[in-house]
Amino acid sequence: MSEEVIRLDDVWVQYNDVPILEGINLSVRNRDFLGIIGPNGGGKTTLLKVILGLITPTRGKVTVLGNEPKKSRKFIGYVPQISQFDSEFPATALDVVLMGRLGRKKLLRKYDEEDKKAAYKALESVEMIEFKNHQVGKLSGGQLQRVLLARALATNPKILLLDEPTASVDEPTKTDLYKLLKNMNREITVILVSHDIGVMSAYVDKIACLNRKLFYHGSKEITAETIEGTYRCPVELIAHGVPHRVLRKHRKK
Amino acid sequence: MELLQYEFMRNALMAGILASVACGVIGAFVVVKKMVSVSGGISHAAFGGIGLGYLLRFDPVLGALLFTVASALGMGILRERTKLSEDAAVGILWVTGMSLGVIFIGLTMGYAPDLFGYLFGNILTVPLSDLIVMMILDVVILLVVFLLYEEFLAISFDEEFATAAGMPVERIYLILLSLVALTVVILIRIVGVVLVIAMLTIPATITWQFSHKLNQIMVISVLISAVFTTEGLWLSYVLNLASGATIVLVSVVTFVLSMILKKIFT
């Protein structure tokens, strides 16, 4: 087994006594490709922020690359949800990708050749180099998603964390994005959260279900019971357009 | 042109241009990072410092500088360290500054100071010493923005990513707020505590409609601010109106025209 890169032990997060995450235990190993699914409001974004050290848990212990999250987060490439961005923001795609270099750049120093090379390389790897001078707000959802992915890659991460990377993109673009991530997964650990099981299940190696509590199964065979446990109601499992069926057929009642 | 033979007119013109440099550059960040209400709080806090200056008989500009920088740092730290919403904190800061100013000035013995000038600006009475202070503050602002431009842009776009990428976001934000404080001090002479927000927001908002490059927004905002202050100054002289309010209204009219233009051409 490869080494453990992320470990959560009995992690609880509460806001004003309302539990968001309850007793999360999670272990992620190097070069895992983990998909976390769950309903909106189930704590998916919170879980990512706990791993990044942006939210301190009420209880429990988080270890990332053998250290506390705040010390290790510079090795994590974070791809937040794109819905939060101002579409009029005055920056180009290249400006945004270069922001990925700022954690490494000393304050008061300007971007150097190495930073620029890394940004170009990241844009090339997501096939967005020809859009480098486009204003970010004018890009489509899929294009903006790729730019944010490039920004995360520009940090030279050991782990990629993605929050709903396919929320506002069409089906073919979804597949492209997953292929891209699968490719990157040959070198780095990838964790993504989504409320959309669809295409994801064909690409990830492991799936966990999150709705305040984590139902972690390691393998990606999910049973109807797990899904129902996560969503708290019966859910129709649909595997549309996936290369091979990974979800069990519904049993006839 | 005959106006320029008067020293107070030359000083006023110079003050308008010096203020335009600061408000164009910092106004761009205020608008893009949506710091308008925080800036309003900081500018009204300045009134407390002005009052203290009168009471203790030191330069009110120095008092304003003290209060704006202190309130900028206080606001920034409150935002990062507590759960108090920035919105509410701004409101409290705003009224505290104004009330302190009123009380301090009320306690001051002797002559009634030129309150109206500090509240609504009086560009026609800018002494040479203030021009020098404005020039120094401009240089400080330009230097810091040049050095931290990339960081300011990054925290304006996505603070969370900047934090996750390992940037000292809190420190960078406090520096940016302090620059807002310095800009407020410069602008008080021109448009006064109450109208500072106009000069921080209107030029940059007009420019942002037509440009999507931050450095471009800054340069053009500086230029149009200079046009506004000069035009407003001239109009106020010719029509015998209050200079600060005239400058602001010139800006507002231009803003409305720019919106109509934008609608027609897009």
Which among B212, B213, B216 is the top mutation candidate for probing chain A, defined by the most A β-carbons within 10 Å of its own β-carbon? B212
CA–CA distance, A5 with B35 (Å, rounded to integer): 39
Contact assignment for A90 to B151 by CB distance below 8 Å: no
| Among B112, B117, B132, residue whose Cα is nearest residue B190 | B117
Beta-carbon contacts of residue A9 (< 8 Å; ≥ 6 apart) = A25, A60, A61, A62, A63
Say whether residue A69 is in contact with chain B using an 8 A CB cutoff. no
Contact assignment for B166 to A105 by CB distance below 8 Å: no
pLDDT beneath 50: ranges in chain B:
none
Mean pLDDT to the nearest integer, A217-236: 57
Q: What is the mean pLDDT of chain B?
A: 92
Beta-carbon contacts of residue A19 (< 8 Å; ≥ 6 apart) = A12, A13, A212
pLDDT > 60? residue A237: no
Residues of A in contact with B163 (CB under 8 A): 54
Say whether residue A92 is in contact with chain B using an 8 A CB cutoff. yes
Residues of B in contact with A90 (CB under 8 A): 32, 208, 211-214, 216-217
Q: How close does chain B come to A232, measured CA to CA in Å?
A: 31
Q: Looking at this predicted complex, what is its ipTM? A: 0.87
pLDDT of residue B1: 62
Contact assignment for A54 to B150 by CB distance below 8 Å: no
Dihedral, CA atoms, A202, B164, A52, A17, nearest 10 degrees?
-120
- The answer to whether A80 touches A165, Cβ cutoff 8 Å, is no
Dihedral, CA atoms, A136, A137, A139, A144, nearest 10 degrees?
60
Q: How far is CA B175 from CA A13, A91, B148, in A?
A: 32, 21, 9
Residues of A in contact with B150 (CB under 8 A): 98-99, 102, 105, 110-111
Q: Out of B148, B153, B172, name the one closest to residue A91 (CB).
A: B153
Helix (H) or strand (E) holding B146: helix B128-157
Residues of A in contact with B148 (CB under 8 A): 107-108
CA–CA distance, A146 with A127 (Å, rounded to integer): 8
Convert the pLDDT of each residue in A165-207 to its tens digit. Answer: 888 788 888 888 899 999 999 999 999 998 877 778 888 888 8
As a three-state string, the secondary structure of B241-264 is: CCHHHHHHHHHHHHHHHHHHHHHH
Which residue of A lies nearest to B212 if distances are taken between CA atoms? Answer: A90
Beta-carbon contacts of residue B43 (< 8 Å; ≥ 6 apart) = B68, B184, B187, B188, B193, B194, B196, B197
| A-B C-beta contacts closer than 8 Å | 78
Contact assignment for B166 to A76 by CB distance below 8 Å: no
Written as six digits, the tokens of B129 are 């010493």
Give the residue carrying structure tokens 């761009």. B28
Residue A191, classed as helix, strand or coil, is strand
pLDDT > 70? residue A29: yes
CA–CA distance, A7 with A24 (Å, rounded to integer): 10
Strand A33-37 vs strand A206-211: parallel, antiparallel, or unpaired? parallel
pLDDT of residue A234: 43
Which residue of A lies nearest to B171 if distances are taken between CA atoms? Answer: A107
- To the question of pTM greater than 0.80 for the whole model, the response is yes
Convert the pLDDT of each residue in A46-88 to its tens digit. Answer: 999 999 999 999 999 999 999 999 999 889 999 998 877 888 8
pLDDT > 50? residue A250: no
pLDDT > 90? residue A219: no
- The answer to whether B199 touches B57, Cβ cutoff 8 Å, is no
CA–CA distance, A123 with A154 (Å, rounded to integer): 9
pLDDT of residue A25: 92
Give the residue carrying structure tokens 């959309």. A196
Q: Out of A73, A84, A85, name the one closest to residue B164 (CB).
A: A73
Q: What is the mean pLDDT of chain A?
A: 84
Q: How many helices (H) and strands (E) does chain A have?
A: 7, 9
Say whether residue B164 is in contact with chain A using an 8 A CB cutoff. yes
Convert the pLDDT of each residue in A143-175 to its tens digit. Answer: 999 999 999 999 999 999 999 988 878 888 888
Say whether residue A104 is in contact with chain B using an 8 A CB cutoff. yes
Say whether residue B219 is in contact with chain A using an 8 A CB cutoff. no
Contact assignment for A99 to B214 by CB distance below 8 Å: no
Q: Which domains does chain B have, with CATH numbers?
A: 2-259 (1.10.3470.10)
Written as six digits, the tokens of A55 are 């939210």
Say whether residue B151 is in contact with chain A using an 8 A CB cutoff. yes
CA–CA distance, A143 with A137 (Å, rounded to integer): 10
Residues of B in contact with A99 (CB under 8 A): 150, 153-154, 157-158, 161-162, 165
pLDDT > 90? residue A236: no
Q: Out of B151, B158, B160, name the one closest to residue A107 (CB).
A: B151
pLDDT of residue B114: 76
Convert the pLDDT of each residue in A89-143 to its tens digit. Answer: 999 999 999 999 998 777 778 899 999 999 999 999 999 999 999 999 889 888 9
